[in-house]
Amino acid sequence: MLRDFKDAPEKAKRIFMMLQELFEEQNINPHPLNYYIWYSYYKGDNPKFRQEMDRVLNDPFGYNDRIGKRLYEEYLEDQDNSDNQFDSAFKRLIGLMIQKMNLWSDRLEEHTKELDACATSLSGDPLNAEELKKLTNSVLSTANSMQQSTAEFQKELLESTKEVQDLRQQLIEARAEIMQDELTQVGNRKAFNNAIEELTTEAMQAPQTLCLIMTDIDHFKRFNDTFGHLVGDSVLRYFANVMKKGKQENETICRYGGEEFAILLANSSLEAAKARAEAVRSGIESAQLKRANSEQTLGKITASFGISVYQGPKESVESFIKRADDALYLAKDQGRNQVKTELDIPVKPA
């Protein structure tokens, strides 16, 4: 029913990534119904449901599985999702799970009635041996049937839960795919935009710990014009691999556009960023690349680098990027194949 969600709406992907953490933090059972309830809540296209959910969350007792089932039946069961295949498929899974829950509840009620009947027989007139044997067999049969029904329901619930877990994993993979540059296998421009927004927000209290390196390959157009775009693509992949080779956990590497790349360093310093840029610069300079199936060398490959340090709430993300870009172009203007920081940029006269 839920198999391939590469084409799931972007908003759905963001919500599921958030729910994964939320469920763990608030100890919410990660079964399909709860995913659908909270997905619908954060999606926000059912005002009445959202208002009731807000009321539940403000209640001292908060949210639980029983309330989730009630909310689904009152606000979401009859909601039309025909215009969204993702939501429709998800809702069909939830509907199937609700049917299984109701079936299991009906069976449990039947078993309870049978046991009540047995209890009534025991409280009446004394039973002879044959009657007691029949009653004992009836109790055992009912107990076994209850156990079997419960096991079947647990199995079905686990299967439904696994479908949502598979969905969550597919969404994680799809998100990674969407955020990755196909050629170089580093983050793409979208990944960079998301990362710099998140990291600047996190660094508000300690802005000097966030650094940005902007870099691009010197005279890259010459490679394309001389050797062709396929060779140019190989040079870009090699450059990305040089950056990935020394990647630390606090780094985000992205292709900013064309032959330009960016490295965001959290919990770092200008000195550390400069050392990292210098390591990449020397790494690409020492490369001895040759054309495929040929001894023809591509010549010396170099790159230039510009670095800025985040200044906190007083500046915009655009300003943060521009200062790194300005330092990069200063490196270009002063001969290329070097690292410049924002401190090297001449101060313009007032």
Q: How many whole angstroms separate alpha carbon 60 and alpha carbon 284?
A: 60
Q: Tell me the CA distances in angstroms from 220 to 226, 319, 333, 337, one per residue in order.
A: 10, 26, 15, 12
Q: Residue 238 has which token pair? A: 């090699």
Question: Which residue out of 163, 251, 259, 342 is catalytically annotated?
Answer: 259
Q: How far apart are CA 250 and CA 267, in angstroms?
A: 7
What is the CA angle 251-257-258, rounded to 5?
120
| 192 neighbors 256 (Cβ within 8 angstroms) | yes
Query: Which amino acid, residue 285?
Result: E
Question: 133 is written with which tokens?
Answer: 């044997």
Type of residue numbered 344: D
Token pair listed for 310: 């985040």
Report how far residue 213's alpha carbon sits from residue 270's, in angstroms, rounded to the nearest whole number.
10
Q: How many residues does the chain have?
A: 350
Exposed (0-12), middle (13-18) or buried (19+): which is 333, by Cβ within 10 Å?
exposed
Give the whole-angstrom CA distance, residue 269 versus residue 262: 16
Please list the alpha-helical segments (H only) found in 124-269.
129-178, 189-202, 220-227, 229-245
Q: Is 259 a known active-site residue? A: yes
Q: Which residues pair with 255 in a beta bridge?
A: 261
**DSSP-assigned states of every residue in 71-109:** HIIIIITT---TT-HHHHHHHHHHHHHHHHHHHHHHHHH
| Unique residue bearing structure tokens 């670095």 | 307
Helix, strand, coil shares of the chain, percent, nearest 5, are 65, 10, 25
Catalytic residues: 259
